[in-house]
């Protein structure tokens, strides 16, 4: 069973994500901001990160940069955002290998995206 870190400052959105992912057999750990997520990553290994873009203390983009550049972690990373400038954001995220999921999200599509990302990661890991 894969362990997923959900980083979301809005409790009801985190609850919906966690509920759907738990129903699909994933183990969930939660953080309410990017700083808390980084602290959690010091203590626990996760297989995938889902993060909101706009959060207090450390937003999703800066979290992705810290995970990839500062810590060198390569697990799949999905950034959930309501930003209108998603093309510009995708250009910033491409070198970080971070995917975007638009808000509002459809829970079943979120689960499908996660399944695909985890499958891709498994193929990449077995190839190396």
Q: Where are the domains of the chain?
A: 3-127
- Per-residue confidence at 44, pLDDT binned at 50, 70, 90? very high
What is the reported pLDDT for 39? Answer: 97
Mean pLDDT in residue range 107-119: 92
pLDDT higher than threshold 70 for residue 1: yes
What is the reported pLDDT for 101? Answer: 85
pLDDT in tens, 59-111: 999 999 999 999 999 999 999 987 656 677 777 777 788 888 888 888 888 89
Q: Name the architecture of domain 3-127.
A: 3-Layer(aba) Sandwich (3.40)
Q: Helix 11-23 and helix 107-127: axis angle, to 10°?
A: 60
């Amino acid at each position: 069973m894969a362990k997923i870190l959900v980083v979301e400052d809005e409790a009801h959105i985190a609850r919906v994500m966690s509920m759907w992912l738990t129903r699909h057999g994933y183990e969930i750990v939660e953080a309410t901001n990017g700083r808390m997520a980084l602290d959690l990553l010091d203590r626990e290994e996760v297989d995938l990160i889902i993060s909101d873009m706009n959060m207090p203390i450390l937003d999703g983009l800066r979290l992705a940069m810290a995970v990839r550049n500062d810590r060198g972690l390569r697990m799949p990373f999905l950034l959930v955002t309501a930003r209108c400038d998603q093309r510009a954001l995708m250009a910033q995220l491409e070198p970080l290998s971070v995917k975007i999921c638009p808000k509002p999200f459809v829970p079943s599509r979120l689960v499908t995206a996660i399944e695909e990302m985890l499958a891709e990661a498994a193929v990449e890991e077995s190839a190396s």
